[in-house]
Chains A and B, each alone.
Chain A
């Protein structure tokens, strides 16, 4: 005789495994969505009023000039053309890719710092309720501070740091600013995760007469993984955004933020060029967020329960 309590696999497993055909359809539709968006762009550009639609003093539909809305194919073609007419000038896509890689490295450093700080704060807040009450409101508030206000301060302060042979580099200022955006989701998500174990699990550890550290290692940290992963994904996207903003703000060379403003400055004469780094920034953000998915599959045994993170 066989009996089943709660027949069928639990939803966590059911939803994660997709038949390959379904998966393919999903990708196909995603591509279709992008094609539809591109078609809408071109269609509007073709049919829309050249000065956009102005209602009650506000332009609610954009202008269709080549300056405002270059053709999609122009943007794509521009990517394969050299950056400038100078000899040995690299194709735009390569220039963007090189800059994106540099930014990715800085963002990764910022992400790591954000991770360490965020998890550290979460541990402190989990350990002491009073710390949670005292810190959490400020952590939330910290994200309403316009980051750009900080950039010069951070760079200037960093410039003074010189410990032994260690000298503060400008990219570190950028990474630090990136970490400022990255730490927030990590702190909040990890705290939620560390607090997620059921009372029954916490009490079980108590019956085993083990202390806070062992409970942390064996129970709270593993239980926090499902909360940590989305937080890390958000942190990765935020780190990239923060790194780009900080590059713009501090004028750091070599990254995508730098060419973003540089090409924006050239957009009057070469409107398609400015879109190169925009696409680069999107791809970069997606790559950063996507790499967390890899981490997620490594830790999949810790994600056997799906949570509302």
Chain B
């Protein structure tokens, strides 16, 4: 039996993370202010916030550049992931053939890939970063979609056969709707990965102006408060992607239990 949800649980649910966040920030501030930790490397939250106010426009424009790279990578990577999963689920040979490649992609560090992609696609365009984000997004979308496409219940398959439904009808009526929650899970995982990958790729060359480049430039000139402000922007960007995909997922699947 499920435990009856106590009234007020909803409030606790929202409050708890806020309290935890506030406590951590408070401790941080306390340690830096009172604890004698040098605030040269780890600026106090208040200092970071002050910088945020100062450089907000630059954070926005940098966030837009990185965000666009991540978005393009996410969209294209997810699309390719879904198509590849469709191919793999319907043709076993393809499945077996791409399995090792996907496994390798899943363990390859971006650091290794970024310089190579920059040379392949040109350091003067954002494409290398978009490709990195796309590769990062591809893997979880592919894996989850493939799993989802295999979730079709035998009873539904039998039913469709009994209806003498064609393969595209089966795909539309049963296979895709069944896979949908899995696809969305994959996209949700991919969303944060795409952002962080697009950002890290900026460390390895290409046009300037994105969040990753600004974090490294700021850190290199010891402007740590500024660096942390850009890190904050990166977190917000990642969170925005995550929440956006979550919202789309909720919207698309609102009729599921």
Q: Which of B52-60, B99-107, B162-170, B172-180 contacts A (4 or more CB under 8 A)?
A: B99-107
Query: Does A141 belong to the interface (CB within 8 Å)?
Result: yes
Q: Give the Cβ gap from B163 to chain A, nearest Cβ, in Å.
A: 25
A277 at the B interface (CB under 8 A): yes
A59/B125 in contact, CB under 8 A: yes
Near B by CB (< 8 A), chain A positions 12-47 give 25-26, 29-34, 36-37
**Within 8 Å of chain B (Cβ to Cβ): is A221?**
no
**Considering the complex, which residues of chain B in the window 208-257 have a beta carbon less than 8 Å from any beta carbon of chain A?**
212, 215-216, 219, 227-228, 231, 234-235, 237-239, 242
B122 interface hit (Cβ, 8 Å): yes
Tell yes or no: A152 within 8 A of B by CB: yes
Which of A37, A52, A143, A241 sits near B101, CB closer than 8 Å? A37
In this complex, the member of B12, B41, B103, B227 whose beta carbon has the largest number of chain A beta carbons within 10 angstroms is B103
A102 within 8 A of B: no
Which of A146, A240, A274, A286 has its CB near the most chain B CB atoms (within 10 A)? A146
Which of these, B24, B93, B125, B227, contacts A57 with CB under 8 Å?
A: B125
With A33-B100, A149-B227 known to touch, is A281 a contact of B109 (CB < 8 Å)? Answer: yes
User: Please, which residue of chain A has its CB at the minimum distance from the CB of B122?
Assistant: A59
- Chain A residues whose C-beta falls within 8 Å of the C-beta of B13 in the assembled complex: 133
Expressed in whole angstroms, the Cα–Cα distance for A50 and B103 within the complex equals: 30
Interface size, chain B (Cβ < 8 Å):
58
A7 an interface residue at 8 Å Cβ cutoff? no
The yes or no answer to A105 lying at the interface (CB within 8 A) is no
Interface size on A, residues (CB 8 A): 65
- How far, in whole Å, are A149 and B109 apart by their CA atoms in the complex? 16
A77 to B127 CA separation, bound complex (whole angstroms): 30
| A60-68, A78-86, A169-177 - the one binding chain B | A60-68
Contact (Cβ within 8 A) A274 B109: no
Contact A281:B108 (CB < 8 A) given known A29-B93, A141-B235, A145-B235: yes
Q: Which residues of A are found within 8 Å of B99, using beta-carbon distances?
A: 26, 30, 33
- A127: shortest Cβ distance to chain B, in Å? 14
A-contact 0/1 string along B87-100, CB 8 Å cutoff: 00000010011111
Contact between B17 and A237, CB atoms less than 8 A apart? no
> A271's closest neighbor in chain B, by CB?
B119
Q: Are B16 and A146 in contact (CB under 8 A)?
A: no
**B4-31 interface code vs A (CB 8 A; 1 in, 0 out):** 0000000011001101110010000000
Residues of chain A with a CB closer than 8 A to B42's CB? 153
User: Is residue A244 within 8 Å, beta carbon to beta carbon, of the partner chain?
Assistant: yes
A286 touches B103 (CB 8 A): yes
A130 at the interface (CB under 8 A from B): yes
Residues of A within 8 A of B116 (CB): 264, 274-275, 278
> What residues on A are CB-neighbors of B115 within 8 Å?
264, 267, 274
How far is it, in angstroms, between the C-alpha of A267 and the C-alpha of B107 when the chains are bound? 23
The answer on a CB contact under 8 Å between A138 and B192 is no
The residue among A25, A143, A157 with the most chain B CB atoms within 10 A of its own CB is: A143
Q: Is the CB of A63 within 8 A of B109?
A: no
| B199, chain A: closest CB distance, angstroms | 5
Residues of B within 8 A of A164 (CB): none
In the assembled complex, how far is the CB of residue B168 from the closest CB belonging to chain A, in whole angstroms?
27
Assess whether A144 is in contact with B107, with CB atoms less than 8 Å apart: no
Contact flags B108-119 to A (C-beta < 8 A → 1, else 0): 111111011001
The interface residues of chain B lying within 8 Å CB-to-CB of A63 are 119-122
Residue in A closest to B98 when the chains form the complex, CB atoms: A33
Chain B residues closer than 8 Å to A245, beta-carbon distance: 109-111, 200
Beyond A144-B234, A289-B107, is A30–B96 a contact (Cβ under 8 Å)?
yes
A256 CB to nearest B CB, Å: 9
On B, residues with C-beta under 8 Å from A are 1-2, 12-13, 16-17, 19-21, 24, 41-42, 93, 96-101, 103-104, 106-113, 115-116, 119-122, 125-127, 147, 192, 195-196, 199-200, 203, 212, 215-216, 219, 227-228, 231, 234-235, 237-239, 242
